[in-house]
Amino acid sequence: MMPCLRALPAYAAALCLAGCVATTTFTSVWKAPEVPAVSAAGRTVAAVFVSREESKRRAAEDAMAKDLNLRGFHGVAAYTILAEERPRDAEAARARLKDAGADAVVVMREVAKDQRITYTPGYVFPDYYRGFGPFWGYGWGLAYDPGYLRSDTIVSVETLIYSLQRDKLVWASTSRTTNPKDLGTLVSEVADATAREMVKQGLLVSPGK
C-alpha cells in the first residue's frame, strides 16, 4: 500500500468519529477510479482552507488541524508551512509540504453562501357568530395565526483530497451546510459528512471493520 493512499483514509476515518449535527448534504461527489478501499492509519495531513481573508484561512486551517490531532493524527495547518498569503507557486508549495512530512493534503474552499427565505402562511379558523356563547368559546379557542418568515444560511463548500506522493486528486465533493454556527462548526460538519460519504463510496473502510 502506498503511503499517500494510507494517509487519505486515515484522515477521513478519524473524522467519522466527530459528533456533528447532520445538516450537510452533497450536491456532487467524485472519487478516483480503481482506488481500493483502505483501512485508516495515522499519517501527516496538511489542512488547507482557500480564502482571500488571511484571518479566516488561518482559523479554518487551525480547526481542520485540531480535528485531526484530537483523534491521534498529525494534522498541520498549511499556513504554518506556507506562511505567505495566498501562495501561488504550486510546485514550490508541494515541495515545502512534502519536506514538512505531509503525505496528503485536504483542501476546503467556500464556493457560495446563500440566504433562503421560507414563508409559512397563517390561517383563520371559522367561528360562530350567531350566538355570543358559541362564538366566545370557539373564537378564543381558535384564533388567527399570522404566519411567519424563516431565514436560513446555506454555505456551499468544495472539498478536495490530494496525494502528494503521486500529485493526484483522489476525492472531490461539493456540499451544502445549513446554518453553521461558526467557521469551526462548518469545517467539522463538512469533514464529518465527507468521511461518511467516502465510506459509502467505497474509498474508506468503515472504522471497526
Boundaries of every domain in the chain: 3-110+155-200, 118-149
pLDDT, residue 81, reads 92
Please check whether the domain covering 3-110+155-200 is classified as CATH 3.40.50.800. Answer: yes
pLDDT, residue 142, reads 57
pTM over 0.85: no
Segment 52-68 mean pLDDT: 88
Q: Can you tell me which residue has the cell 379558523?
A: 125
C-alpha 105/C-alpha 53 separation (Å) is 20
pLDDT, residue 209, reads 56
pLDDT at 53 over 50: yes
Are the C-beta atoms of 113 and 102 separated by less than 8 Å? Answer: no
Q: What share of the chain has pLDDT > 90, as a percent? A: 33
pLDDT at 55 over 70: yes
pLDDT, residue 131, reads 58
Helices and strands (H and E) in the chain: how many: 5, 6
